[in-house]
């Protein structure tokens, strides 16, 4: 088992990672009867895409002796209705380190092989961009 999810009431859950004991809360968003005081379940999916991309890029960067520290991702999730679902996820990766053209291409291609990206429904539009800050 990977995690345990407990419904706390008032459209809130507590999520526990069993191996580490780390927890986080989710709330229903304000546009769906919630308080919006924490990540919504769909926010965690969109954010998980950026987490995954940065993690596997970090593995590849380490192999290339590149320090990716300080890299950020800006995530925008767009919802659709009937049925309510994620229709688009936009991720802007801000990469504040020096890399040659070859290594940039390798890291961008690595990000695009993230398991979460491959796991998302094909009808979800994925808009991924790379902002090489020190390019």
Per the structure, the complete domain to which residue 112 belongs is given by 40-135
One domain, residues 34 and 65: no
Q: What is the pTM of this model?
A: 0.94
CATH of the domain at 60: 3.30.300.20
Q: Which residues pair with 14 in a beta bridge?
A: 6, 25
44 with 27, same domain?
no
Q: In b/e form, how buried is each residue of 43-67, taking b as 16+ CB within 10 angstroms?
A: bebbbbbbebbbebbbebbeeeebe
Q: Is the pLDDT of residue 135 over 60?
A: no
The set of residues, in sequence order, having a beta carbon less than 8 Å from that of 76 and lying 6+ positions away, is: 46, 88, 89, 90, 91
List pLDDT tens digits, range 78-123: 999 999 999 999 999 999 999 999 999 999 999 999 999 999 999 9
Residue pLDDT, tens place only, 2-33? 999 999 999 999 999 999 999 999 999 999 99
């Amino acid at each position: 088992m990977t995690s345990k999810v407990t419904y706390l009431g008032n459209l809130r859950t507590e999520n526990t990672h069993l191996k580490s004991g780390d927890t986080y809360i989710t709330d229903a968003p304000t546009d769906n009867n919630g308080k919006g005081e924490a990540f919504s379940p769909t926010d965690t999916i969109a954010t998980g895409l950026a987490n995954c991309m940065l993690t596997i890029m970090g593995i590849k960067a380490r192999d290339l002796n590149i320090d990716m520290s300080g890299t950020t991702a800006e995530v925008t999730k767009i919802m659709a209705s009937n049925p309510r679902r994620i229709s688009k996820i936009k991720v802007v990766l801000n990469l504040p380190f020096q890399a040659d053209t070859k290594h940039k291409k390798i890291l961008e291609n690595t990000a695009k092989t993230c398991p979460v990206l491959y796991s998302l429904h094909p009808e979800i539009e994925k808009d991924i961009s790379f902002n090489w800050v020190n390019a």
